[in-house]
Each structure stands twice: as structure tokens, then as C-alpha cells.
Amino acid sequence: MKLHELKNVKGAVHRKKRVGCGEGGGHGKTSGKGGKGQTARSGGSIRPGFEGGQMPLYRKLPHRGFNQFNFRTEIAVLNVGDLGGLDASVKEVTAESLAAAGLIRAGEKVVKILGDGEITRALKVTAAKFSESAKAKIEKAGGQAIVA
């Protein structure tokens, strides 16, 4: 099969809808726009929430409250078992080395180590937070858990 031999599947290509070309075509007179008024006009559209001049609901209701979404700190979560998969030459684990290994995103600074999984070699792990079980497993393997 060559490019010039390709054909569309039956029903894939439709005729262009010809509006305003007589009643026989099914889209005559008002060209599928309905009756008169704003929406029948060219460029006539009504923005979302507009209620015909009546005070819209979003302006009637009180806007109150505050949330901390903009001020949150994103925490990259990692398990102890993930540290075991690091390269054998790595002795010190930091946010930069984790980002280089592809375990966290490059910009993330706050890292929390959780205790799921097992670790067999001694690593010096520097992170912002540790769970109790993660700290215990790292120290049991002969490593250090340093809170930065």
C-alpha cells in the first residue's frame, strides 16, 4: 500500500452543511438559528452566567472564605524501599541526588521519607522529614537519618 492508494473509511467524509439555500435543503429561512433575537445574529452569543439582565446568581451569593492553597508546601514522598533501588555508588542521599536518579521532580526541595519497604545497605539520608519507622529502618541498616 502506498500513500496515494489510501482512501477514507466509508462515512468518514461529510458534505459541508449549506445553510440559507432554500427550504428544500432543510436549513433554509433562518439557517438553523431559530427565531429572531440575540442568538440569531452573527457574533451573537451570551456569556456563561448571564441571566438576561437579572442580577446573576454568582453576584447574589456572598463570596466568603479563604483557603491556604496558594501557600501550601508541596512535599515529595518517598519510601525506604525506593532508596534501596539507588545506584550502589551512592552513599549520601539528598534531594538533588534523588532528582538526578529520577525518584522525585527536579524542583522539589521538601522530601519526606516513609517506612514502606526494606533497606539493606548503610546510607546517609538527608531529608526534611522522616516517619518513625523509616528512621528506625535506616539506622538499623547502619545508616543515618539527618533532618535538614
C-alpha cell recorded at residue 133? 519507622
List the pLDDT tens digit at each of the 148 positions of the chain.
Answer: 999 999 999 999 999 999 999 999 889 999 989 889 888 998 888 999 999 999 999 999 998 899 999 898 889 999 999 998 888 888 999 999 999 999 999 988 899 999 999 999 999 999 999 999 999 999 999 999 999 8
Residue 147 pairs with which residues in a beta bridge?
127
CATH number of the structural domain spanning residue 128: 3.100.10.10
Nearest CA among 35, 5, 32, 37 for reference residue 18: 32
Would residue 16 count as lying in a domain? no
- How far, in Å, CA of 148 to CA of 58, rounded? 46
Would residue 132 count as lying in a domain? yes
Query: How much is the pTM?
Result: 0.55
The answer to whether 139 touches 103, Cβ cutoff 8 Å, is no
Would residue 31 count as lying in a domain? no
Domain count, the chain: 1
